[in-house]
Structure 1
Amino acid sequence: MKALGDFLAIILFFVIYTTTKNIIWATIAATVVGVLQAAYTWLTVKKLSAMQWVSLVMVVGFGGLTILLDDPVYIMFKTTVICWLTGAAVLVAQLMGKNGVKLLMGSEITLPEKVWTNLSYAWAIFFFIMGLVNLAIAYPFTKEQVDVWAKYKMYGYIPLTLIFSIGQALYIAKFLPKETGE
């Protein structure tokens, strides 16, 4: 559900940017949505996960800098930082003997430990690559590059994440217990 909310924030950002060509208005909208998502989670669940706190701080911090300094570099770089922090968190957890992917999904499905490990490394690599791709698309972080970057966020980042997630689901499906037709 959180991923859907993240995508909605990206879609809102894109719609506002596309219709106004104003990165500041789009950033304000994305920042407000990020704060509202965190507030809603806090009110309904009474807590935020570590990654939700990091995401909130990043959205408010980088969004705030973009708004205050009228400079798109901060909001463009935010995606790379979040991807790399997420990838690092998954990788460090795995190397410390805790599988972050299993912690998130383990209560919902049962998989062999080797599959959880493979998923963990796959997600870490995916996030590092997505951070690099965002950096390559955003570079040289100019106002002229904003249009290219905004289109990537909508037509590249979201589809790539969905395709990777579907690939992971297909991989997981091979290891799920078979139901018996009794």
Structure 2
Amino acid sequence: MSEKRSVNPWLKTGLEMGPVVLFFVAYLRLKDRSFLIGGSEYEGFILVTAAFIPLILLSTVILWRLTGHLSRMQLVTAVLVTVFGGLSVWLNDDRFFKMKPTLIYVLFGSILGIGLLRGESWLRKVMEELMPLDREGWMKLTRRLCAFFFALALANEIIWRTQSTDTWVYFKTFGLTAALFIFFIAQSRLFRDHALNNEDGDAT
């Protein structure tokens, strides 16, 4: 495996969020247009989705080359964007791409849930360096995040099935991101109560 390397945090954030921002901007410009390609008519949303796939793959490859490391979430997101975005373009049906966040959140909620059933916090394995917590803290945070992922999956299903594409795009671009930010801000008391001092270790 490649050695994990540090990278400018602003550059890292730009590579992670840039494709999403470009998708949103392109959608706003093309949403009311349709295009005749190869005898088939495609809405602007489908063309923007088609452009988003290579963009997210390129940003993922650049992140890997710069850092020597990709998280499981980054890998899964890239794969699901390619598969479900590709299905939307191929079948000229935007529903597949709209399902993608649901599958991502169900997948990660299920992974955390399986760990909890085994009495383990698999979240701890990937985030321990960022947040040194005791075992009880990790278990509480994992249970909450597991439930939160399933709630986001349900919210995405309700939005894309009952609301307009415009509403879903705004929800996907801003709503889901804001929800994750608010969730972790809301855990500040847990982080305080279960934080480990630098010199302390977790005896369990």
**TM-score, with structure 1 as normaliser:** 0.83
Per the alignment, residue 172 of structure 1 pairs with 191
CA contact (8 A) 2:19 2:59 kept: no
Which of 78, 89, 111 aligns to 1:67? It is 89
Distance 2:145 2:18 in 1: 21
1:121 to 1:147, Cα distance in 2 relative to 1, 3 A: same
| Post-superposition offset of 1:163 | 0.8
Matches within 5 A, 1:4-19: 5-19=15-29
Distance 1:112 1:47, change over 3 A: closer
- Does the CA contact (< 8 Å) of 1:112 and 1:175 recur in 2? yes
Q: Distance in 2 between matches of 1:165 and 1:9?
A: 23
Paired with 2:142 and 2:13, the residues of 1 have a C-alpha distance of 17
Kindly provide the amino acid, as one letter, of the partner of residue 141 in structure 2: L
The change in CA–CA distance for 1:39 and 1:74 in structure 2 (over 3 A counts) is same
Q: The residue matched to 2:164 in structure 1 has which SS?
A: helix
Structure 1 residue 43, shift from structure 2 partner: 2.0
Q: Assess, with a 3 A threshold, how the Cα gap between structure 1 residues 95 and 33 changes in structure 2: closer, same or farther.
A: farther
Task: Map Cα deviations across residues 125-160 of structure 1 (whole Å, 9 max, x no partner).
Answer: 1110000000000005xxx82112112113322211
Residue by residue over 1:62-111, the C-alpha shift from the partner in whole angstroms, topping out at 9 and shown as x without a partner, is: 11111222211011000101111011111112222431221122123321
Determine which structure has more spread, i.e. the larger CA radius of gyration. Answer: 2
> How far has the Cα of 1:48 moved from its partner?
3.6
Q: 1:92 to 1:169 in 2, by over 3 A?
A: same
Paired residues, what number? Answer: 176
Range that drifts further, 65-74 or 117-126? 65-74
Structure 1 residues 177 and 112, CA gap change in structure 2 (3 angstroms) = closer
One-letter amino acid matched to 1:101: L
Question: Structure 2 regions of 5+ residues with no counterpart?
Answer: 1-8, 32-43, 199-204
Equivalent residue for 2:178?
A: 159
Describe the shift of the 1:59–1:102 C-alpha distance in structure 2 as closer, same or farther (beyond 3 A).
Answer: same
Once residues 4 and 131 of structure 1 are traced to their aligned partners in structure 2, the CA distance between those partners, rounded to angstroms, is 25
Q: CA RMSD in A?
A: 2.5
Q: More relative contact order in 1 or in 2 (CA 8 Å, sep 6+)?
A: 1
1:100 corresponds to 2:119? no
8 Å CA contact 1:16, 1:25 repeated in 2: no
Matches within 5 A, 1:109-128: 109-128=131-150
| Alpha-carbon separation, structure 2, partners of 1:3 and 1:33 | 15
Query: Which residues of structure 1 form unaligned runs of 5+?
Result: none
